[in-house]
Each structure stands twice: as C-alpha cells, then as structure tokens.
Amino acid sequence: MAAHNSIEVGADILNTTRNEETKSILAQIGDVEAETVSADNVEMWSLPGFASRPQKAEPGKSACQGLVLNEGGSGICFATKDLRGQEIAGNLKEGETCLYAPGADGTGQARVLLKGDSSMALFTRASATAKGMGLFLYAKEDAIRLLNAAGNGLIIDNTGVYLVAGSQALKLELSGAASLLGAGQTQVDGASVVIGNLAVPVANAALTGPTGITAKPSVKVLIE
C-alpha cells in the first residue's frame, strides 16, 4: 500500500455500509493483512446509474482495493479492483463486458454477459459447480432461449416457438405445423375442444364416444 500526493493507491476496503440519509455507500479502509484502519466514512464514487458493494474482506488475507483521495480521516474512493472471484466473468474477449455479483462471501454466481457477437445473457447457478440457468439472446440468429438448470424452458427462433420439459414438447412452427409431444399420458381437456378449422356443433359430433363410433369421420369436429 503506497501514498502519493494525497492519493492512496491500493487501499484495502475493510467494510462498507450504506448511509440511510444520503443513500451513498461508505467504506472503511486500511490494511487487511495488518488488520489496521486508516479512515472511516470514505465515499464510494462510481458511474451514474451504477452502484455496487464489494464482498466482505477476509481479515489478515485479502480485500477489494481502491484508489482513495484522502481528506483527513475520510475521503473519496474513486476506483477499485478486486481480484477475488473474477473467474466468474469467464473468458472475456476484447470488447466484451461482464457484470457480476459475487455476494458477501464470494459464492454468488449471478452475472450479465454482453458478448462481441451481439449476444447477451442473464446467467446464474446455485453454486460454482451446479448446472447453469438463464435467459440467452442471440441477435444474429434471431433466437431467444429461456432455460433452467434441468434444460426445461422456452425457445424462440426463426423457425417457431418451442416449449420443452424433458422429453415433452409443444412446437408451433412458422410453416404452419404444430405438435404436442408427450412421453406419458397426454391430455387435452376443456369445456370444448375443436379439431379442425371450424367446429360443427351437432349432437354426438365426436368420432368416438363411450359406446364406440358415434359419427362419420370429419375434418371439422367439436368435442364437448
């Protein structure tokens, strides 16, 4: 930790609080390894529309560090870096951005990824070793995917809309085709179920009933 022209370079951020009156984030700074405090109520400055608090310092070990303009016992922290948990950002390429929240203890997994290929994702998982879930937007493919850790979810692309749950699926294709796929019992129920482009509401219009065939085959069927 070094001081130069009233700017402290690499000051350890030992703790942060939120001022309920001003709504600003305040930091306590010092030396995390020596476990000493050099200033309280240091204002955390950041970009407009953005606010964050670093994860808790590990006494005697590591902490988020900042550039602090000292002002006699207080000051302004105007830039920070925290090497802990940066693996959550993944393999960022030039021109890409990751916004992530490591949580107070560094185990948080929530992140927003803005990629150079114009895709973006809201991604998270229950732990660092768990399967992920998220909302994925692929602009160049005109596709949206909303999937949980089990792979269940909604897929929208330039061929149609797909609702998937394990081996079951509902497919609505732009070609005009539609299908309901079920590995187990598949049920369609309602006050009335229409098969065909126009219902013909006559008595016993269904092809089959409790006693067998009750009507002639038709492409326009009303089931009640």
91 contacts 75 by C-beta, under 8 angstroms: no
User: Quick one: DSSP state of residue 210?
Assistant: T
Map tokens 């929208």 to a residue. 156
17 contacts 7 by C-beta, under 8 angstroms: no
**Distance separating alpha carbons of residues 11 and 77, to the nearest angstrom:** 9
Average pLDDT, the chain: 86
Map tokens 């493919």 to a residue. 141
**Distance separating alpha carbons of residues 62 and 48, to the nearest angstrom:** 28
pLDDT at 204: 43
Is 199 strand, coil or helix?
coil
pLDDT at 63: 96
Q: What is the pTM of this model?
A: 0.77
**Distance separating alpha carbons of residues 166 and 152, to the nearest angstrom:** 6
How far is C-alpha 184 from the chain's CA centre? 32
pLDDT at 195: 72
pLDDT in tens, 74-127: 799 999 999 998 888 888 999 999 999 999 999 999 999 999 999 999 999 999
pLDDT at 12: 96
Q: Which residues of the chain have pLDDT under 50?
A: 1-5, 203-206, 208-210, 213
